[in-house]
A = this chain, B = another copy of it.
Amino acid sequence: MPIHYGDRIYIYIDDGRDYILTVQEGKQFSTHRGNIMHDEIAGKNYGENVLTTKGNKVYLLPVGIIENIYHMRRCSQIVYPKDLGFILLMLDIREGNRVIDVGLGSGSMSAAMARLVGNTGMVYAYERREDMISLATQNLIVWKLIDRVTIQQRDIEVGFDEKEIDAIFLDVPQPWDYLKQCWDALAGGGRLGIVSPTAGQVMEVLRSLNKLPFIIIEVWENMFRQYKPDPYTFRPYDRMVAHTTYMIFARKVNDI
A215 touches B12 (CB 8 A): yes
Query: Which residues of A216-245 have CB atoms within 8 Å of chain B's CB atoms?
Result: 216-244
Report whether A206 and B229 are in contact in the complex, using a CB–CB cutoff of 8 Å: yes
* A85 CB-CB contact with B under 8 Å: yes
Nearest CB to that of A85 among chain B residues?
B85
Q: Which stretch from A23-31, A122-130, A150-158, A247-255 is at the chain B interface?
A: A247-255
Whole-angstrom CA separation of A242 from B65 in the bound complex? 26
Residues of B within 8 A of A1 (CB): 164, 187-188
A92 touches B65 (CB 8 A): yes
A62 close to B (CB within 8 Å): yes
Q: Tell me the nearest residue of chain B to A197, going by C-beta.
A: B235
Q: Are B219 and A202 in contact (CB under 8 A)?
A: no
Residue ID in chain B nearest A245 by CB atoms: B235
Find out whether the CB atom of A207 lies under 8 angstroms from the CB atom of B231: yes
Residue on B nearest A91 in the bound complex, by CB:
B64
Distance (whole angstroms) from the CB of A217 to the closest CB of chain B? 4
Enumerate chain B residues within 8 angstroms of A78, measured Cβ to Cβ: none
Cα distance, A222 to B82, chains bound together (Å): 9
Alpha-carbon distance A228/B243, docked complex (angstroms): 11
Contact B85 A89 (CB under 8 A): yes
Is A229 in contact with B219, judged by CB distance below 8 angstroms?
yes
Q: Which residue of B lies closest to A246 (CB)?
A: B227
Partner among B12, B164, B234 whose Cβ is within 8 Å of the Cβ of A199: B234
Shortest CB distance A105–B (Å): 18
Within 8 Å CB of A226, what residues of B? Answer: 218-220, 242
Which residue, of A1, A89, A218, has the highest number of chain B Cβ atoms within 10 A?
A89
Q: Are A235 and B46 in contact (CB under 8 A)?
A: no
Q: Are A234 and B206 in contact (CB under 8 A)?
A: yes
User: A5-38, CB under 8 A of B: which get 1 and which 0?
Assistant: 0000010100000000000000000000000000
Across-interface contacts of A70 in B (CB, < 8 A):
none
Determine how close the nearest CB of chain B comes to the CB of A48; give it in whole angstroms.
5
- Distance A218 CA – B16 CA, assembled complex (angstroms): 12
Bound CA span A89–B59, Å: 21
Residues of B within 8 A of A82 (CB): 86, 222
Residues of B contacting A212 in the complex (Cβ-Cβ under 8 angstroms): none
A-B contact pairs, 5 of them (CB 8 A): A47-B254, A206-B231, A210-B231, A237-B242, A240-B242
6 A-B pairs with least C-beta separation? A47-B188, A85-B85, A64-B92, A240-B242, A236-B243, A61-B189
